Amino acid sequence: MHWWSTAASAALHLALLITGPGLAAPAPEASTRAASAASAGCGAVPEIVDGASRLYSTAAGRTYRVFLPRDYDENTPAPLILSYHGAGGVIDQQADLDRLARPEVNTDHIVVYLQGNADDPSQPERYTWQGAPENHSDDIRFTREALDAILATYCVDPSRVYATGMSQGGGFAGRLACSAEMSARIAAYAPVAGAYYQKQVDEEEACEPATVDIDCESMRKRNRRTSVPIMAFHGGSDDIIRYEGGFRNGACLPAVKHWIDRWVEADGLRGMPANDTIEGSDGGVIMRHGGGLVTLVYAGDDVGHAWMSRSNGDLGRQTQGLREFG
Ligand SMILES: *[C@@H]1O[C@H](CO)[C@@H](O)[C@H](O)[C@H]1NC(C)=O
Ligand SMILES: *[C@@H]1O[C@H](CO)[C@@H](O)[C@H](O)[C@H]1NC(C)=O
């Protein structure tokens, strides 16, 4: 099996959870994972009953909610998903949106919902993540501290930690992928309607969405032994974070395809993606590079700024109430 197959199936696996069954047509063969590694929390009596959640905070006062799935067993290392809300969002909202804490969607993954900070005193409820045009906290550090604490308390397979997020939270998932440290700890990333702000371009005239430099440590790193699996979802009618990119909030948003193409390059992949149309969508297509290692899900011409889901109708028709979360 090629080295990228396992990584690609990690991305696919995450995507299936994000969207519900039915999205991924030809699945790569199941990964031949070695016996799972066990975190220090294995064997400890859990602090939460299965199917429930608990709010924790770091020493610095940052909060996150840990959800234990129905099938959690303190002696079996569980996969884990980090989920980041959109700008202006909060933990419970993100949980309602991604539904990853619901047994009909997920029975075996621990899910961790993190709470962003509001750094700008003039906008006390604009909770954002590092990388947003607003000033920000060190959310890489927050993620590291939360993850370390969870691995010490619960039974986690450290090789199956994933990240997802909505809008600016999706942008932050991309930023985790760009961190050399975090890209070694997180196995796959599934940003949804991601805002991949490039703050170094802070003038509208200088923002060329199709070619803008992507400031990303992991992309620059040479001789990496591991690849960075990405599966990004975006709708063609997203008028908050546009598929074509553009200048927004004083920073440059790349075209989503350009951002993906840079990952394709960074992961050393060549050639055209294999494309699958999404049944029942308005021109939706799944573009898989390297057998799915880097995948762009263009959800359709009519899909707006939305979480992508198949469980209640067509992919992504869930725009209600989301408009403010740019
Ligand atoms: C944001 O950062 C800039 C540059 O460091 C600084 O001039 C500005 O005062 C900061 N704004 C806030 C609200 O902290
Ligand atoms: C898949 O779609 C992309 C974007 O439209 C296109 O550039 C590429 O050539 C397509 N791949 C194949 C194999 O046709």
Nearest-ligand number for the alpha carbon of 287 = 2
Q: What is the pLDDT at residue 72?
A: 96
Instruction: Kindly identify the ligand whose nearest atom is closest to the C-alpha of 132.
Output: 1
Indicate whether residue 277 lines ligand 2 (CB < 6 A).
Answer: no
Residue of the nearest CA to atom 6 in ligand 1?
Answer: 135
**pLDDT, mean over the chain:** 86
**102 pLDDT more than 70:** yes
Residue 1 has pLDDT above 70, yes or no: no
SS3 248: strand
Query: What are the sequence ranges of the domains in the chain?
Result: 7-325
The three-state secondary structure class of 158 is strand
**pLDDT one-digit tens code per residue, 103-146:** 988 999 999 999 999 988 888 889 999 998 877 789 999 999 99
Contact 139, 147 (CB under 8 A): no
In this prediction, residue 120 carries a pLDDT of 82
Q: Is the pLDDT of residue 242 over 70?
A: yes
Q: Within 10 A of 93 (CB to CB), how many other CB atoms are there?
A: 18
Of the two residues 271 and 230, the one the predictor is more confident about is 230
- Is the confidence at residue 312, as pLDDT, over 80? no
Tens of pLDDT along 173-210?
A: 999 999 999 999 999 999 999 999 999 999 999 999 99
Q: pLDDT per residue over 64-94, tens digit each?
A: 999 999 999 999 999 999 999 999 999 999 9
Q: Does 326 contact ligand 2 (Cβ within 6 A)?
A: no
- Is 171's pLDDT higher than 50? yes
Q: Which ligand places an atom closest to the C-alpha of 283?
A: 2
The larger pLDDT score, comparing residue 1 to residue 125, is at 125
The verdict on the CB of residue 34 being under 6 Å from ligand 2 is no
Higher pLDDT, 271 or 199: 199
What is the spatial distance between Cα 97 and Cα 57, in angstroms, rounded to a whole number?
A: 22
Measured CA to CA, the distance from residue 128 to residue 130 in angstroms comes to 7
271 lines ligand 2 (CB under 6 A): no
Q: Is the pLDDT of residue 23 over 80?
A: no
What mean pLDDT comes out for the span 24-53?
Answer: 72
Strands, E assignment, the chain: 53-57, 63-67, 78-84, 110-114, 156-166, 188-192, 230-234, 246-248, 251-253, 274-277, 285-289, 294-298
* pLDDT > 90: percent of the chain: 70
Query: Ligand 2 centre and the CA of 271: distance in Å?
Result: 10
Is the pLDDT at 323 greater than 80, yes or no? Answer: no
Amino acid at 274: A
Does ligand 2 have an atom closer than 6 angstroms to the CB of 287? yes
pLDDT at 13 over 90: no
Residue identifier of the C-alpha nearest atom 13 of ligand 1: 120
123 lines ligand 1 (CB under 6 A): no
Distance CA 180, CA 215 (A): 12
Tell the burial category of 292 from Cβ atoms under 10 Å away from its Cβ (0-12, 13-18, 19+). buried
Q: Is pLDDT of 162 > 90?
A: yes
Question: Angle 139-153/168-178 helices, nearest 10 degrees?
Answer: 80
pLDDT score at 224: 58
Strand-pairing partners, residue 80, are: 110, 161
pLDDT at res. 37:
86
Contact 296, 256 (CB under 8 A): yes
Per-residue pLDDT, 301: 94
Question: For residue 135, how far is its CA from the centre of ligand 1 (angstroms)?
Answer: 6
Instruction: Reply yes or no on whether the pLDDT at 319 is more than 50.
Output: no
**Residue 16 pLDDT more than 60?**
yes
Query: Do 171 and 195 form a contact (C-beta atoms < 8 A)?
Result: yes
Distance in angstroms (rounded) separating the CA atoms of residues 34 and 159: 10
Q: What's the pLDDT band for 32 if we cut at 50, 70, 90?
A: very low
Encoding tokens for residue 182?
């975090």
By the 8 A CB rule, do 139 and 133 touch? no
Asked whether the predicted pLDDT for residue 281 surpasses 70, the reply is: yes
pLDDT number for residue 280: 86
- Is 80 exceeded by the pLDDT of residue 12? no
Beta carbons within 8 Å of 228's beta carbon, 6+ residues apart: 177, 183, 189, 218, 263, 266, 267
Strand partners, 81: 111, 162
Determine if ligand 1 sits within 6 Å of the CB of residue 120: yes
Give pLDDT, residue 225. Answer: 54
CA distance 286 to 267: 18
What is the distance in A from the centroid of ligand 1 to the CA of 168?
Answer: 19
Tell me the CATH architecture of domain 7-325: 3-Layer(aba) Sandwich (3.40)
Burial 98-119 (b: 16+ CB within 10 A, else e): bbbbbeebbeebbbbbbbbbbb
The yes-or-no verdict on residue 5 having pLDDT over 80 is no
